[in-house]
Amino acid sequence: MVDYHTHTKLCNHAKGEPRDYVLSAISKNLSEIGLSDHMPLPGDFDPDHRMKVEEFEIYRSWYREVVEEFGDKIKIRFGIEAEFIESEISFISDFIKYGDFDYVIGSIHFIGEWNIASHKQSWKWEGQDVNAVYESYYQIMKKLVSSGLFDVIGHFDLIKKFGHKANDDFEDLIREIFSMIKRNGLCVEINISGLRHKVAEIYPSFKILELVKEYGIPITLGSDAHDPGDVGRDFSMAYELVERYADGKISVFDKRERKEIKIR
């Protein structure tokens, strides 16, 4: 089994270095682990949740060190979780090319200047039209998918993190997004971390996973570990979901090339 969504202390809200995460993966008999810390952005954009541009080479050197030390025990992939910010799309595109990654997760944490994943900003939900917020989120998702920059869609319905649920299920819009994902050859991530948040659900929901299956969208797996102990956490559920919604197959990457493997 693989875990393609992990973080390190460089992002300023996680613990440990890649070595700690790799050791945890080995102890849990994972076959593959991906490093996917938050990509830096220009200036002082969201400094509490990502490395600085000048720290990126530290991240790369950490990857090389763990490959040298543990590469004979586990496959280690070099990834990044990239924020989709339309106004910074040129920087993001250039940085992805510079990074020489095995895979790139595209995620949405921001609607305008509102970090919808931040506990510190969760108060901004007060007085919001929840349906309108969801609509904005999924409209941004369409732009993310059509950008052609990413390999994996991270935590597809992260907008529900703090338990705010829309009355509308947005099925028509999600179907439109999945048609775009299919055309563009992207994967959707099964991200277990929602179980650790207020919503207490995986990302995406079972209902959305039914659409993943219907459209034949490939999947990856991620714990979204911000602590080495969370690598592979709750993956017994992940196994069941992969069998149910993806015919027992997951996608893995090498230099941005995707292939599918059976989990058993």
Burial bucket for residue 182 (CB in 10 Å: 0-12, 13-18, 19+): middle
SS (H, E, C) the chain: CEECCECCHHHCCCCCCHHHHHHHHHHCCCCEEEECCECCCCCCCCHHHCCCHHHHHHHHHHHHHHHHHHCCCCEEEEEEEEECCHHHHHHHHHHHHHHCCCEEEEECCEECCEECCCHHHHHHHCCCCHHHHHHHHHHHHHHHHHCCCCCEECCCCHHHCCCCCCCCCCHHHHHHHHHHHHHHCCEEEEEHHHHHCCCCCCECCHHHHHHHHHHCCCEEEECCECCHHHCCCCHHHHHHHHHHHHCCEEEEEECCEEEEEECC
pLDDT at 15 over 90: yes
Tell me what the pLDDT averaged over the chain comes to: 95
pTM for the model: 0.96
Mean pLDDT of 1-8: 96
Q: How far is CA 216 from the centre of its chain?
A: 19
Confidence (pLDDT) at 181: 98
Q: How many whole angstroms separate alpha carbon 188 and alpha carbon 106?
A: 10
Confidence (pLDDT) at 74: 98
Amino acid identity, position 55:
E
**Which of 44-58, 195-209, 235-249 is predicted with the least confidence, judged by mean pLDDT?**
44-58
Mean pLDDT of 13-33: 96
pLDDT at 44 over 80: no
| Fold observed for domain 2-262 | TIM Barrel (3.20.20)
pLDDT at 221 over 90: yes
Longest dimension (CA), the chain: 54
pLDDT tens for 222-262 read 999 999 999 999 999 988 999 999 999 999 999 999 999 99
